[in-house]
Amino acid sequence: MITTAGLRKSYGGVTAVRDATVEVLPGKINALIGPNGSGKTTFFNLVTGLIKPDSGTVHYRDTDITGRSPHRIAHLGLGRTFQLCRIFPRMTVLENMLVAVRRTRLRELLAGIGNPAEIERARGWLRRTGIEHMETAEARELSYGQQKLLELAAVLMAEPELILLDEPAGGVNPALIERLVTLIRELNAEGHTFLVVEHNMDMVMGMSDHVIVFDRGAPICAGPPRQVRSDPRVLEAYLGV
């Protein structure tokens, strides 16, 4: 679904991503792992248009999206979450859901006017993520794990085909991680492709179909979890053995 060829990004004398040729398999739960500083989030930002590559290309299906703006890429069917939640803390949970849909103008939202169909769809996603009981609460009142579920629910309002999750389990308690994994599997079964950056290896190896490993900015291995887990390059670079 996503293919990159020779992707490279440097900041001064530091190369964050180098010669990254990667394939994200359609219809699968793909994971991207690697040590801290190995270029995973930079790779996400290159794919989603937040930063432009120094060289190389990014294709979504058959479309070259290299260097396109984030909103143009999102309109093609890509959605993403961030390491640190990007929500509107003083808006209610339901308002956060509705503002994610461009058809709802902010002025109308603040005036209490909303599209009934969009409101019902938003409530449906809140039910799926298990936070429907918080719809009238301000987003800042949610736990950190609930805020991550809200961010994902807001992404789903745009009906993306490909969902990129940047450390969804970071700072989240085990019960919410289990709920998140269940939701990812359900959404994948319904046709959504995932690319997940995550340090929780039990989560990654338990739910992923395809794992990509980065080290020092470049992919060093890709394949099914069992194959990746035993690859000597991964053991050396990621596990330090």
Are the CB atoms for 78 and 48 separated by under 8 Å? yes
List the domains of the chain with CATH numbers.
1-77+160-241 (3.40.50.300), 87-154 (no CATH)
Q: What is the pLDDT of residues 174-221, one digit of tens each?
A: 888 998 999 999 999 999 999 999 888 889 899 999 999 999 899 999
- The per-residue pLDDT for 110 is 54
Q: How far apart are the first and last CA of the chain?
A: 33
- The per-residue pLDDT for 233 is 86
Rounded distance, CA 148 to CA 142, Å? 9
Q: What is the pLDDT of residues 46-91, one digit of tens each?
A: 999 999 999 999 999 989 999 999 999 999 999 999 888 889 999 9
Residues 6+ apart with CB under 8 A from 214: 20, 32, 33, 34, 38, 39, 40, 43, 220
